[in-house]
Amino acid sequence: MPNIKSAKKRVKVNAVKAANNKARNTALKTAIKKANAAIDANAEDKTQAVQFACKKIDQAAAKNLLHKNTAARKKEQFGQQTEPRISADTRFLSNFRFLHLQGAFFFCHRPRLLRK
């Protein structure tokens, strides 16, 4: 047990923050599990479950419970599971667009697919 007043306060604050983090992590994992179950069962409310899970993922990333790249990867995985598959030709063509610059056409690579 600490003797210094500020160290005593840090122990209390850390306990509260640990409890909050535990609750947020539990809610996040539950939302992800429910969304995955809805996708596997092809339930009618799978879009709402995925939206809620994405909201929880964003909140966790904002609170530094998840790294921002991990959050983006998890959300992209939900997007790939829920959206219809795109053929390889369409995917290739949608990654490129024409730019008209000074009378000539140039290919401009778009790193991400357009989602509607």
Residue 21 has pLDDT above 80, yes or no: yes
* The two three-digit tokens of residue 18, written as one number: 């640990």
Highest mean pLDDT among 18-32, 44-58, 98-112: 18-32
pLDDT band per the 50, 70, 90 thresholds, residue 25 = very high
Q: What digits encode the pLDDT tens for the residues 64-102?
A: 999 999 999 999 998 888 776 555 555 555 555 544 444
DSSP string computed for 51-107 = HHHHHHHHHHHHTTSS-HHHHHHHHHHHHHHHSPP--HHHHHHHTEEEEEETTEEEE
pTM summary value: 0.66
User: What pLDDT is stored for residue 107 in this prediction?
Assistant: 47
Q: How many residues does the chain have?
A: 116
Helix, strand, coil shares of the chain, percent, nearest 5, are 65, 10, 25
Task: Please tell me the distance from the alpha carbon of residue 57 to that of residue 83, in angstroms, as a whole number.
Answer: 19
Residue 116 has pLDDT above 90, yes or no: no
Task: Please tell me the distance from the alpha carbon of residue 57 to that of residue 35, in angstroms, as a whole number.
Answer: 12
